[in-house]
Amino acid sequence: MNLLYALSSIALFLYSYTQVDLSLTLSRVSIWQVIQRWFQLIGFFNRPLSTVIFLAILAVFFVLYVVMLLGIHKKKFTVRQIWVIIGIITVITCFSYPAFSYDFFNYLFTAKTVLLYHRNPYMVVPLQFTGVEPWLSFLHWTHLPSAYTPVWIIVTLLPYFLGFGYFLLIMWSLKIVVAAAYIVTAIGIYKILEIEDKSRALLGMAIFALNPLVIIESLVSAHNDILMMALAIWAIVLFQRGRRWGSWLLLSLSVALKLMTLFLIPAFFMKWNRRIALLSMLLGFIAVVFQREVLGWYWIWIVPFVALVPDLWPLVVLSTGVSLGLLLRYAPFLYLGNWNDPAPYFKMWGTIIPIVISVIIVFVPYYRKKY
């Protein structure tokens, strides 16, 4: 399994660089530029091949995910073996290109606004730096001020500083921070279950850490949602250990990073209950989805809490179906290069079909028992 995960992670790592924006030069080294152009030929000028590669990588990761969960359930893997696999995935993919995230570059530019231009990112927009800022050629939402909270902006400052002005180093520095949050979240889930359901602690950790959506949206696309979840999960760890002030501090930081974990507060007031926490986050997720388009990384809000109830296997199956459906939403864009018709049609059915299949997998056994 180590070799399979290593090869799959390398494939994902390499594929991510097919999506480097045509206006972005990652390095001035000539050989790197040659390699970058070769990869871009696949991503931008051979879109059918690019889409097939993406779907193949997804298929492999989801097959491995199912095999691993079944194997852990049958006690075929040790904690050490799972951590080796998590380590392999993390080390390889945290150096990938944020292929499916425009937000990532806005994270970096917000830090640049503070450290290089000494301006308030809430008072200026990127377009105001036209003529002096080379990043404007590949940034999105250049007409808007920063949409990120002060806590997240503070987090991005050190990675930007450690990049020493080199874009590739800046990018990797922030991705390492996000990868650390992914690892910290996995550790926290294991520690929570060690106390509440020790026999399934390893399974719960794997449900989160090996989920392909979590890997792609955290380690590849590097969305800040994973740091929000890391803080929330460790708030629970401290709460379990009776360290209430520390727990509320971490939960407050999580909320200050991104408001979604406000929905966890009822679970804390009820002396912490895993199922109430999951229900609260699901209600929050549904509330957001009714207000805006569902985005793949939103499911990162839910997977850690599904992982905390590993005994509810139907929920794990449904979560896996949702994860696949949300990742398949990228396929129409990869194939067409835009979101115009018929992309919305294929995006909708690509999301719905895996979810429906997961529902059938869950309910067919109950139907057979009943009849």
CA–CA separation, 93 and 10 (whole Å): 7
CA–CA separation, 64 and 190 (whole Å): 20
The values of phi and psi at residue 150, to 5°, are -55, -35
3-state helix, strand, coil in the chain (%, to 5): 75, 0, 25
Q: 0.75 exceeded by the pTM?
A: yes
Position 275 confidence tier, pLDDT thresholds 50, 70, 90: confident
Q: Give the tens place of pLDDT for each residue, 293-342.
A: 889 999 999 999 999 999 999 999 999 999 999 999 999 999 999 989 99
DSSP secondary structure, 326-359, as one string? HHHTTHHHHHHSSS-TTHHHHHHHHHHHHHHHHH
- Dihedral sign, Cα of residue 335, residue 337, residue 338, residue 341: negative
Q: Is the pLDDT of residue 209 over 80?
A: yes
Q: Give the tens place of pLDDT for each residue, 77-131.
A: 999 999 999 999 999 999 999 999 889 999 999 999 999 999 999 999 999 999 8
> Taking residues 222-246, what's their average pLDDT?
94
CA–CA separation, 41 and 53 (whole Å): 14
